[in-house]
Amino acid sequence: MSAVFRRSPIIFDRKAVEKKGSLGWEVVLEFEGEGGGPWLVDLSHLQRWDYQHMELDSTAPFGLSVPAEPGQVFIQNDKCIARMNRTQAMITCLRTGDSIETRRAVEFTDMTDAYCMLAVVGPETPCVMEHVSNLDLFKPGRKMPFLTQGPIMHIPAQVVTLDAGCVLMSFSRGYGQSFADAILHAASGCGLRPGGKSVFNKRFFQKHE
């Protein structure tokens, strides 16, 4: 019997030249003609959790330190934890193949299938984001990484500015394909094109490990 893969709601109009199975997902590592970027990378397969606790500051979900202030983001052990408000944080496993077991703890809600996640990667990332949002995602003097909650192309999103060349956007799954098509069109003048997960890995893990 052939393996059954979960698939992202986003399909890029590019031929995949390398794929990998991960936790039941079919993940594209490289597309044909990726070029020199900037790239739009589909990370919807990465495991994500909404974590809520009335005493958030006194907890350590999966052993992670919780940022003290809303908007702060910590990167720990290949995981990203972003403080959203007084009682809520968003946790993302950034390495393909990582899995978190919550043992059905009531504080955790698995958002992997409910949300899409896209990354814009490359030195031209600020140019790309200026074409699709009025949010100040690269505020001078603000320590990166940080979280911004607001609209991207009028769609509510959580946006993590990892650094000046890498932004993560998380939003409702139903917008996935139309969002990806729209951002590729809007930022075509910046050279934005689809990229595989390897593009993100090279950028993120070389800078943050």
Whole-model pTM: value is 0.91
- What backbone phi and psi angles, to 5 degrees, belong to 151? -85, 140
- Up-side HSE of residue 42: CA atoms within 13 Å toward CB? 29
- Of 7, 8, 12, 11, the C-alpha closest to 192 is 12
User: Residue written as tokens 């990203």?
Assistant: 80
Give the model confidence (pLDDT) of 91-136 as tens digits. Answer: 999 987 656 665 567 899 989 889 999 999 999 999 999 999 999 9
Q: What pLDDT, on the 0 to 100 scale, is given for residue 158? A: 97
Strand order in the sheet with 88-93: 73-76, 79-83, 88-93, 48-52, 108-110
3-state helix, strand, coil in the chain (%, to 5): 20, 35, 45
Given a cut of 50, whether residue 1 has pLDDT beyond it is: no
- 1-209: CATH class: alpha beta
Between 2-16, 21-35, 147-161, 179-193, the lowest mean confidence (pLDDT) is in: 2-16
Q: Where are the domains of the chain?
A: 1-209
Query: Which among 16, 41, 46, 13 has a CA at the least distance from the CA of 30?
Result: 16
For the cut 80, the answer to whether the pLDDT of residue 62 exceeds it is yes
